[in-house]
Amino acid sequence: MSVTTALALLDLKGDFPGLAGDWAYLDTAATSQKPQAVIDAIARVYGPDYATVHRGVYERSATMTLRFEEARATVARFIGAASPDEVVFVRGATEGINLVAQSWGQRLKAGDRILISALEHHSNIVPWQMLCERSGAVLDVAPLTDDGRIDEDALIGLIRPETRLVSIAHVSNVLGGTANVRRLADAAHAAGALLLVDGCQAAPRLTLDMEQLGCDFYVLSGHKLYGPTGIGVLWARAELLESMPPWQGGGAMIETVTFERTTFAPPPGRFEAGTPHIEGVIGLAAAIDYVEAIGLDRIHAHEAALVRQAREALAGINSIRLWGPDDSAGILSFTMQGVHPHDIGTILDEAGVAIRAGHHCAQPLMNLLGVPATARASFGLYSSPRDVDRLVDGLARVSRIFGVAA
């Protein structure tokens, strides 16, 4: 597919009220804008359809419960899960990882090892550090290749008999490289370890199939998938969920409660204490319906073409350094010689271009790259070639203001 053909596929800004006006939103990796279909679904939940779930015996509650569980089935189909019962609703990927660390992690002991990579988000670092401090386990870190991918050969070489878990990003939120999940899953399993995958940046653009990926845990956040904030998914193999104790206590996650003893519901209810984020779950299902109607392959091709356009335009500017692989998935991080990324972001904002500037919740990666921060342009299904042009024009203005040679 040519760049021109891919760029012509999608023109969907009109579906997103948050993009009204002349605004180039290039911060989708942080959070996506919401289509009107998602906003309408949430409004219906809060308005004429509102009722609690799993509790009421009246008709509207029963209807809402049905919609809630239909949304779980939608998520299961979207990610290629074997059963909706493998889908646990959480507040986001961060909570999903913490759930695994708090629940599954109870079995770790001193001398066990957890393996991550050098490009991970803080949410895929800090929970494991905390678990290691509690259990006496050791955290290992795999290096990167020269172009900013996980060095999979090196990572596989670091898997030891004591390794209990490997935890990696499917797509890097800073550098955009895509991991070969199946290869890493097979290597982890060969050593008796499990694989957890942070799918926040993959779910909005890559077709997922848990069986084909071969991982054991997968997490994603709804707000990066054109859905609401405060909702996410932890998927895990059924036998793993069955073996894991609850991590929070309260209503909905129980079978019976007495002052002497409590018995717990089977998964996924065991891990969903309290009244759930009803509107978030249904809004997430609406977002998935929206994305599936367009097609993940079309979205990925569209974003890849925009990344190529941006990389080609910026590669010719001597003061700009591009980070990450050439085929980064919807994400482009860069720095400009002599200009702090925060200044880049501020000046671009004056021109109606929104990017992210900072460490992107990946301070260890910034230290490895030898920079305090990067500027990051990240694309979504609503992004356009004109957004790229405005980014390039805005960076030319930054160069003029700071007297940096182009």
Q: Where in the sequence numbering do the catalytic residues fall? A: 361
DSSP string, 262-302: EEEPPTTGGG--SS--HHHHHHHHHHHHHHHHH-HHHHHHH
Supply 16's token pair.
Answer: 């997103």
Q: Which amino acid appears at position 80 of this protein? A: G
Query: Nearest to residue 155, comparing CAs of 122, 127, 115?
Result: 115
Query: Nearest to residue 382, comparing CAs of 8, 98, 15, 5?
Result: 15
Tell me how far apart the 2 most distant CA atoms of the chain are, in Å: 74
Give 343's contacts (C-beta < 8 A, 6+ positions apart): 398, 402
Distance between CA atoms of residues 323 and 375, nearest Å: 10
Distance between CA atoms of residues 258 and 216, nearest Å: 34
Distance between CA atoms of residues 95 and 128, nearest Å: 13
Distance between CA atoms of residues 198 and 174, nearest Å: 13
Say how many residues make up the chain. Answer: 406
Query: Nearest to residue 136, comparing CAs of 103, 161, 113, 152?
Result: 113
